Structure 1
């Protein structure tokens, strides 16, 4: 008799899910996630900048970004693209890099883009990020992503 596969249960208090409807077509929303010249215009909470961002946008490709707070503190992040299905899905690993260049706890981010609204004029964006090492870390990312998505909504509305 074959062994049954193990059931993996994610502790839900360490999972982040955010859904937002953007006033832009799905192809445009996908594009602004996939090109650094667009990412620098919206990534990060309000007041933050992204002075350095390089990405190899293909499965197995890496991204490295430097985010700067309004007070000047720097936050480095790194990840590897796991799965990309244009224009509907982007999945990548995510980790903060400390001052010594060492990676922190790694999570997996999956962004799903669905057509919404009349004739696909809007996009339903769903972000799933897991598994955080703590509820505090999840909440910090919730604040960061929420601010980023406010900036993203304003940015795509202008394009």
Structure 2
């Protein structure tokens, strides 16, 4: 990893199809996207090459909002997703399944500086904790 790139590898107790859907279904994405103590108050997705995505991450009282938007560059369900627009960066998600488990490699670049990169690291790490909880809920409800 160079100083202006971010790579996070995370294991989830869910098959790749569920993890992929959590990235592309707007309702699922809204349930986990954003750092803890925030709310994804609006999420839209059009998961196809050239399709657009848009999300608003808000403080719990909705006084502070941060809108983000971009486009999908590449989709290969349930293995790979590439999207542009997050702070002028490119996000690449690669999913490797083994039975009912998935290893996700998340890569985001370029960042203008280390401070920006580190801020995103903290936010994504928190989001992925919520994603793990969301995937557990989905699997329990399916039983």
TM-score by length of 2: 0.91
The 5-angstrom pairing of residues 9-158 of structure 1 reads: 12-70=2-60, 72-96=63-87, 106-116=88-98, 120-158=99-137
Q: Which of the pair has more CA radius of gyration? A: 1
| 4+ aligned runs moved over 4 Å, structure 1 | none
Which residue in 2 is equivalent to 1:6? none
Instruction: Tell me how large the CA RMSD over aligned residues is.
Output: 1.2
With normalisation by structure 1, the TM-score equals 0.83
Post-superposition offset of 1:12: 0.6
Structure 2's unaligned 5+ residue stretches are: 139-143
Q: How many pairs does the alignment contain? A: 137
Structure 1 unaligned segments of length 5 or more: list them: 1-10, 97-105
